[in-house]
A and B are shown apart, each in its own frame.
Chain A
């Protein structure tokens, strides 16, 4: 009897295990991302400098503590693309170059439109002429304007021009030639300005069809040899704040139809100037939603140190023209970005090519985003 009972119990136990078997998984399930992305998500452009065909954009959640939780997805881009992340719609625009045989063959320049949720292409717009500017990435080689209905693309052959793209109907509208002027600084209702090689500027307004409505030349207003403007300003409330090589800040008002150069003021005290504290780096400036400018700074600056990593990030109230904070970095960095929410985070690509995350208000180091498959993370985009 005992033996039968134990056999029965073993049978029941076996059966209970059988009941706990896993159901079959569905095949072909693909993840998607929440849109809009949460405030502290970060988009990292890896230039893949040692094999530029294989650039990529990586989406990270900086709130998470582990690398596996941080990594949300990625997509490819080719030959150091220019990338613009839309704020008002779930799209990312990638201006890139392909050859039919890898690095050789027939060239195609194209704007690939990616969906933020699926990280997959939604469409593409071919840009003719093989003119795309191939250079270290910047917010000012590609720019959305006119409530993100138009996309402007910088071309360099070395003749310069700007291609105008309709993002609603996904077609190229026009190409605006520039007279030895470079880059794209959004200006006025539907226009842009460019800096020219003689330190002047040109401002251009467009009509709805992307045709030139007005052109205005702004006379030369700085000295490129003595104290050049960095080409990557912080944009705050329609004003471009250009740091200079020697540690000054030049304001250029871009709210109207044409650029209006304003004052230049010192970012450093006389003591700091004597110690040669200077701005430097690649993506060296950013801004928060309260209107503060963040700037990478290094000591012992000299001719040729303007791309050196900064040991500190200095924060300026640009209206009061006053420094409000100094954030010493754990490791020197050369790329910074600040999130635009009310509790802003400061992201810094450091000299080990990892990304340090700081509380921008307190300067406290929160964590390091490291070893997530990146090689040369030269451009950071806050999700908000």
Chain B
């Protein structure tokens, strides 16, 4: 599995070259193929620390980039970003079906400083998108409180339970943390 060796080398090289977690992650995302790195953000953070690098704050632009794990609406996401899968942050890719049942997060919009309730709707019916995997877990809680749990496949009430990607819909301003 030469490609896997290459991945390891690439990770090390990126850690060495970049103090920015942003750059590190985009490099990692490019380098990793197949299912090699699933919990990419936690893994990257750990690899960063292991390699001696210190995680840094998001670059401002990425807070507004729907294809970035640091897009402000993605604070509690666990899956593939539909923005990278032929859809957008609010619409599913062609031929999929949006799940009507979701988990929710509470994410701060950096522009107005308000906390918004975000509905993470899964797009379903096709195999995993495979592009732009993100796992951020702010206010995520275990599956015994399902409505804030991102470990569940939320392709429920759809024709097929096959998970493809996730969109992030604003449901309103939060009056308290969900």
- A-to-B contact residues, CB < 8 Å: 47-53, 79-80, 97, 99, 103-104, 107, 133-136, 156-158, 181-183, 194-197, 224-225, 228-231, 280, 282, 298-300, 303-309, 311, 331-332, 334, 351-353, 370-371, 375-376, 378
Contact = CB atoms under 8 A, between A and B. Distances in A.
Contacts of A305: 42, 45, 137
A311 B151 CA distance: 22
A300 B46 CA distance: 11
- Of listed B139, B155, B160, residue having the most chain A CB within 10 A: B160
Contacts of A231: 142-144
B30 interface: no
A308 B146 contact: no
A158 B101 contact: yes
Given A136-B151, A156-B152, A311-B50, A197 B144 contact: yes
30 contacts: A47-B38, A49-B35, A50-B128, A52-B162, A97-B161, A103-B160, A103-B162, A134-B155, A156-B146, A158-B156, A224-B145, A225-B141, A225-B177, A231-B142, A231-B143, A303-B139, A307-B135, A307-B137, A307-B140, A308-B45, A311-B46, A311-B50, A332-B43, A352-B4, A352-B11, A353-B35, A371-B1, A371-B4, A375-B36, A376-B35
B138 interface: yes
Nearest to A225: B177
B112 to A, nearest CB: 21
A92 B37 CA distance: 27
- Of listed A79, A157, A194, A196, residue having the most chain B CB within 10 A: A79
Given A311-B49, A376-B38, A104 B125 contact: yes
Given A50-B128, A103-B125, A375-B34, A79 B161 contact: yes
A157 B137 contact: no
Given A135-B153, A158-B156, A351-B47, A197 B146 contact: yes
Contacts of B145: 197, 224, 228
Nearest to A334: B39
Contacts of B162: 52-53, 79, 99, 103-104
B148 to A, nearest CB: 8
Contact of A52 (B76, B101, B144, B163): B163
Contact of B144 (A182, A298, A306): A182
A228 B142 contact: yes
Q: How large is the interface on B (under 10, 10 to 19, 20 to 34, 35 or more residues)?
A: 35 or more
- Of listed A51, A53, A307, residue having the most chain B CB within 10 A: A307
Contact of B141 (A224, A334, A370): A224
Contact of B156 (A97, A157, A194): A157
Interface string B118-160: 0000000111101000011111111111110001110110011
Contacts of A334: 39, 42-43
A47 B133 CA distance: 15
A231 B146 CA distance: 12
A352 B35 contact: no
Nearest to A101: B160
A134 B42 contact: no
Contacts of B7: 352
A160 to B, nearest CB: 8
B127 A103 contact: yes
B46 A308 contact: yes
A197 B103 CA distance: 14
A352 B8 contact: yes
Contacts of A375: 34-36
Contacts of A230: 142
Contact of A49 (B38, B46, B47): B38
Interface string B1-45: 100100110010000000000000000000000111111001101
Given A107-B161, A134-B153, A331-B50, A308 B42 contact: yes
